[in-house]
Amino acid sequence: MESKPIDFKNLSIISYPDPLLRQPARPLIEVNSDIHQLAERMIDLMVSSGGIGLAAPQVGVSLRLIVISLSGKRHDAEAYINPELDNFHGASEMEEGCLSVPGVRAKVRRHAGCTVKALDLDGSEFILDAVDMTATVFQHETDHLNGVLFIDRLNTVSKMACRRGLKQLEITYQNR
């Protein structure tokens, strides 16, 4: 766990270009009550912000934990601990946004499907096959665990189209 206790009440989503978003997250060693609280708080933040996925690094916690709710509703949210993706197949291009890169959206090319291996909040391992939007969300959130943002996956034209929004986020970050 973190060297200092997590202040669950004051967790909030951090924004680009915060350097914490670029740090690879550490694997979770133990699933305990702190991890349950963290997952619950992340779900609250994700849902209240209108998101469908959120990774622990996006709330400033460097642990390999993501939460996903494709419907954007709390009752559909699931937590995934130490997710690993493999068996990638196909190609897909979807418009993506990110709660840590507000106001910026662009088409991102990713794999159309993959296999996800993770632990649930009971510490039990499971495997699922993800396709289409589900695969995209898993790839997007797992990228966060590796210090990668969706804007890193844009082609040159898309990067140019997003330049103004990213510059504004950089100015806002510097002036906070």
For 45-74, write each residue's pLDDT tens digit: 999 999 999 999 999 999 999 999 999 999
Distance CA 151, CA 106 (A): 8
Q: DSSP state, 167?
A: H
Strands 113-119, 125-131: pairing kind: antiparallel
Q: Which of 30, 40, 141, 170 is catalytic?
A: 141
pLDDT of residue 19: 97
DSSP 146: T
**Which amino acid, 85?**
L
pLDDT for the residue 2: 44
Strand, helix or coil for residue 65: strand
Structural domains of the chain, with CATH: 8-174 (3.90.45.10)
Q: How many residues does the chain have?
A: 176
Per-residue tens of pLDDT for the chain, all 176 residues: 445 677 877 899 999 999 999 999 999 999 999 999 999 999 999 999 999 999 999 999 999 999 999 999 999 999 999 999 999 999 999 999 999 999 999 999 999 999 999 999 999 999 999 999 999 999 999 999 999 999 999 999 999 999 999 999 999 999 98
Looking at residue 1, its pLDDT comes to 43
Cβ neighbours of residue 153 closer than 8 Å, sequence gap 6 or more: 108, 109, 110, 143
The tokens 């804007």 sit on which residue? 151
Known active-site residue 96: no
End-to-end C-alpha distance for the chain, whole angstroms: 29
d(CA 13, CA 134): 22
Is residue 85 within 8 A of residue 139, CB to CB? The reply is yes
Per DSSP, 28 falls in state P
State whether residue 10 is helix, strand or coil.
helix
Cis upstream peptide for 17 (omega within 30°)? yes
Q: What pLDDT is recorded for position 7?
A: 81
C-alpha 111: how far from chain center: 17
